[in-house]
Amino acid sequence: MSLVNFTTREITCKIVYYGPGRSGKTTNLQYIYGRVPDDRRGRMVSLATQTDRTLFFDFLPIELGSISGFATRFQLYTVPGQVYYNATRKLVLQGADGVVFVADSQVRQLDENVESLQNLQANLLEQGIDVRTIPVVLQYNKQDLPSDLILAPEELDDQLNFRMVPALGASAVSGKGVFETLRAISERVLRRLSEEQPA
């Protein structure tokens, strides 16, 4: 749940980048880290294996700036995508205010995307969170690959986006769609703070 400090007028929100292994979650954070001015971000922490696969999580704190008079900070996390790291995925997901699901657009990765999305729903449910109530944005990454290797955003929508949440095509390695994804999840998470009474 987002942390609100009414005394110092600060808001801190936790966003988790979820998705199958090698879909580009860490690449999203690395791109954001590289583009955000030094004074608006902290150190990027990566708990990774020797081959740079995410072992526990990546973490990047960024300062959005003043929103409605509140200094607003986002804590961006990734989870390890590989199937056998489910225990750590659950830990990182604790207290998330919003989720970016990073799907791999490659045709051969479709089953992994579906499995990871089902895993997200199961892990949220285990924490008493209905996936229909938490802000979620889909990112269809690797749209820069040759068209015969990937599914178009509309095709991925048919397979993954049955809740009709915002979905954006992206090429995280070049930064295309990374900012738009962050904007989309920011809007949804902050809208919740402007509308409802969090439980």
CB of 107 to another protein, least distance (A): 31
Report the alpha-carbon distance of residue 71 to residue 165 in Å, rounded: 27
Helix, coil or strand: residue 13: strand
- 88 sits near another protein (criterion: CB under 8 A): yes
- Read out DSSP for 51-112? TS-EEEEEEEEEEEEEETTEEEEEEEEE---SGGGHHHHHHHHTT-SEEEEEEE-BGGGHHH
- 57 sits near another protein (criterion: CB under 8 A): yes
Q: Which of 21, 48, 64, 86 binds another protein (CB under 8 A)?
A: 64
Query: Residue 22 or 41: which CB sits closer to another protein?
Result: 41
Options 20-28, 105-113, 140-148, 190-198: segment touching another protein (CB under 8 A): 190-198
- 17 sits near another protein (criterion: CB under 8 A): no
- 193 sits near another protein (criterion: CB under 8 A): yes
- 84 sits near another protein (criterion: CB under 8 A): no
96 burial via Cβ count (<10 Å: 0-12, 13-18, 19+):
buried
| Residue at token pair 């961006």 | 76
Query: Residue 18 or 113: which CB sits closer to another protein?
Result: 18
In a 13 Å sphere around the CA of 54, the CA atoms on its Cβ side amount to 32
In a 13 Å sphere around the CA of 168, the CA atoms on its Cβ side amount to 21
Contacts with another protein, residue ranges (CB under 8 A): 1, 3-5, 7-8, 10-12, 14, 35-37, 40-43, 45, 47, 56-57, 59, 61-68, 70, 72-73, 75, 77, 87-88, 91-92, 94-96, 179, 182-183, 186-187, 190-191, 193-198
